């Protein structure tokens, strides 16, 4: 299976703080990769580097066979990204926002795609409301939809299911599992271990910018350890 993502000796510093420290690993096509770590461990910084939003101080990154440092815009054309903090622009309606993203991504058959997402995530009644008036959960749904509009082979999701109700969480978990079954790849970061244990095929654990572990969930299950106890021991003691 081909690697869709490779990073070597990736390092990012903000002044004296090393947010990501010499991290190297790769992700194969068709995986649902979960990057786990406590708050402030460097997960968001890593996703921003992998998608060309910020430049690393050291290291190289290849995404879909493209050098991210040289082709940040091309990378963002090809992948989908759901950022952790950004919300859709206040004064566009939900539908207008999807149309706006579709225009940027040069997608045709707009109406059909928009309808599909409004139905799937059950917020059709909100399609004509301004984004500033939407609840946090609905904005999160909209951000989810924008990332998948162009059916990308690889999607980066920063904290995917926070703010969403259990019904939508289930819908999205099923959607993500189905998405990877069609040969696509998902890279997501979270600190909600239950979600990672339920849907991830591979996990990486990051703490204080250092990669402590990488491996498959299957291997972990074979050792009869729960992800939570494994994670806590690793982050507290530095070893499982």
Partner 1 sequence: MTLEILKAMIKEEWRLHTSLIGVRLFAFFPLLIFFICFIASFFLPYFRSIITTSQMFLYAHYLLILFGVRIGAFGLFGKEVMNRRFGQASLIAYSSRTFPLSERRLFLNFFVKDIIYYLFLWLIPIILGFLIATPFIGINTVSAFFACGTLFLSFLLGLSIVFFLSTLYAHSSKFLILLLVVIGITVLIFSKNLPFDIKTLVIPYSIFYQITFKKILLITLLIIVPAALSLFFIKVDYPERKKQYKNSLIDISNKIRFTVLAHYVAKDFLDLKRSEGGVGKIIFQFLFPVALTWMFLSIFSELIPSVKAIMIFSIFIGIVSSSIYNMLTAFDSFNSYMFLPVTVSTIIKSKLISFLIFNIISFVILIIASISMNQLFYFLPALFSFITISFYSLSMTVYFAGLHPSTFLYNLKIFSQYIVAVGPLLFIFTIASIINPFFMLISPVLILPSLYILKKSYKKWDNWQPLGF
Helices (H), 34-135: 43-50, 72-78, 94-104, 110-120
Please give the sequence-ordered ranges of beta strands (E in DSSP) within 90-169, or none if there are none: 154-158
Say if CB 74 and CB 154 are below 8 A apart.
no
Question: 240: how many CB neighbours lie within 10 A of its CB?
Answer: 15
Report the DSSP beta bridge partners of residue 198. none
- Residue of 93, 163, 169, 171 that binds partner 1 (CB under 8 A): 93
Minimum gap (Å) between residue 146 Cβ and partner 1: 8
Binding mask 25-44 for partner 1 (x = CB under 8 A): -------------------x
Q: In terms of CB distance, is 106 or 222 closer to partner 1?
A: 106
Within 145-184, the residues that bind partner 1 by CB under 8 A are 147
d(C-alpha 217, C-alpha 201), whole Å: 6
Q: How far apart are the first and last CA of the chain?
A: 29
Integer CA distances (angstroms), 239 to 102, 211, 236, in order: 46, 12, 8
- Residue of 8, 107, 130, 214 that binds partner 1 (CB under 8 A): 130
Q: In terms of CB distance, is 7 or 101 closer to partner 1?
A: 101
Q: Which stretch binds partner 1 (CB under 8 A): 30-38, 59-67, 94-102, 214-222?
A: 94-102
| 18 lies in the binding site for partner 1 (CB under 8 A) | no
| 119 lies in the binding site for partner 1 (CB under 8 A) | no
Reported residue count of the chain is: 240
- Residue of 24, 65, 89, 119 that binds partner 1 (CB under 8 A): 89
SS3 157: strand
| 103 lies in the binding site for partner 1 (CB under 8 A) | yes
Q: In terms of CB distance, is 12 or 217 closer to partner 1?
A: 12
Q: Which stretch binds partner 1 (CB under 8 A): 31-39, 52-60, 169-177, 216-224?
A: 52-60
Minimum gap (Å) between residue 177 Cβ and partner 1: 23
Say if CB 41 and CB 207 are below 8 A apart.
yes
CA 70, 203, 46, 159 torsion: positive or negative?
positive
d(C-alpha 5, C-alpha 185), whole Å: 10
Residues that bind partner 1 (CB under 8 A): 14, 19, 44-45, 48, 51, 53-55, 73-74, 76-77, 81-83, 85-93, 95-96, 99-101, 103-105, 110, 127-130, 133, 147
């Amino acid at each position: 299976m081909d690697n869709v993502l490779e990073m070597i000796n990736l390092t990012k510093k903000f002044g004296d703080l090393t947010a990501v420290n010499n991290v190297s690993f790769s992700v194969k096509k068709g995986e649902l990769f979960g990057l786990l770590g406590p708050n402030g461990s460097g997960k968001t910084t890593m996703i921003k580097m992998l998608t060309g939003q910020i430049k690393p101080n050291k290291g190289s990154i290849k995404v879909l066979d493209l050098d991210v440092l040289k082709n940040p815009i091309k990378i963002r054309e090809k992948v989908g990204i759901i950022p952790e903090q950004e919300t859709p622009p206040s004064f566009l309606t939900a539908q207008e926002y999807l149309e706006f993203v579709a225009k940027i991504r040069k997608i045709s058959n707009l109406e059909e795609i928009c309808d599909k997402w409004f139905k799937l995530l059950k917020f059709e009644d909100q399609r004509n409301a301004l984004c500033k008036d939407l609840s946090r959960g609905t904005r999160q749904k909209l951000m989810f939809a924008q990332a998948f509009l162009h059916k990308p082979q690889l999607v980066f999701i920063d904290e995917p299911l926070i703010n969403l109700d259990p019904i939508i969480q289930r819908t999205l978990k099923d959607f993500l599992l189905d998405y990877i079954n069609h040969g696509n790849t998902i890279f997501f970061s979270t600190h909600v271990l239950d979600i990672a244990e339920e849907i991830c095929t591979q996990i990486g654990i990051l703490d204080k910018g250092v990669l402590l572990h990488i491996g498959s969930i299957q291997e972990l299950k074979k050792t009869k350890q729960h992800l939570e106890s494994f994670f806590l021991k690793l982050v507290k003691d530095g070893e499982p």
